[in-house]
Structure 1
């Protein structure tokens, strides 16, 4: 696929997806949503880690309100079901870790696109903004799902109602994201983390994702069953055997992702 709204690259098992509409702060139009969905599915089947980031001064400013139909003719329910849901599910179901490298403002659906990833690393000058009530809407693109699970009901409600920006430092402090990194160290940090994951036990990372996501709906008995099932699968991998041998031989493990 030839991408018109993204830049896509492969750096040693790291698939980097860069939203590339910088003059519009990487606002999400229909084409970009389709391209992100395709890129995540394609690279997720071939790479060992994915990174989603933005070109320019913003990560993503959310829905492109100038895309397509007029406000009176917009069918937001259809757009969410047919365009946003496949994109978000592609990220959630990706078999390898997905990092959001938030290089600037992440607003509206752009904030929730970032939160769909497994790990969110933000530059210190970035902000997260649930901007929806500013235009008479509710948080979407998974926002009402991520927020209360990440930061608790009270903070989720405050972010949704007041639509005030949350700094990267504050987001890290409240558990909304993994880390806030000084701007001059940001690129080095997310690349270091991506490289770490790309060299790790890929199948185990996929199992971690499944186990933690299932824990959100399982009771204890069901989750213990999930752990036993997934651990049984991991115990049959080459990476497990290599990890044990490396431990016994007191050397770094050389994982192959299988």
Structure 2
């Protein structure tokens, strides 16, 4: 599907996206999702996630600031999404950093996410390789992660989306690269986490491969436009939200895809 068609559908339907994300990312992820055209809900209590997931268009799970109660909520939410046929997205933030995080990530992966979104080091490690990541930062290039992404997509039957200087998305059969963005993007905390929320928004209204492509293209286009006149990461942040909102169907450049 043309990402412009997906953007039009997003704006027409304003899907509700259930985002279980980290403390650092909550505000920017909600603002990115709102600016793009969806409706975010940032709840995570185990007592209500099983009731909320079925009324959502999609679920996203980000393990950034992980704790035992949140991990329990994440597993309940993912199982509920699976049973209710609600698309869900896994962001295994720095899952290789500690044994506990790795264990939680593997348990979530076993619950069949439709899309896995991560940086190159996270994807390499999730597929069983050894990446060079340091905390939430990638130490590997997207090119280095392509084979791991393909293998993970095939073994899990999901879409794998690797973000970086040039993004890579694959479902094990099809694949594409997406160019764009800005040098300021890595300097703004939790923008990658907010991309996961945006992928969830698109997953609510489009098939999963098309959803990942549309979200990444929307993100890249807005980032490139915002970066042209930004003086630094502060002014970029404001301009980026404005650009996410101002972009309309027809503005997403398919020439970014290869």
Normalised-by-shorter TM-score class: 0.3 to 0.5
TM-score if structure 1 supplies the norm length? Answer: 0.37
TM-score if structure 2 supplies the norm length? Answer: 0.37
Greater relative contact order (CA < 8 Å, ≥ 6 in sequence): 2
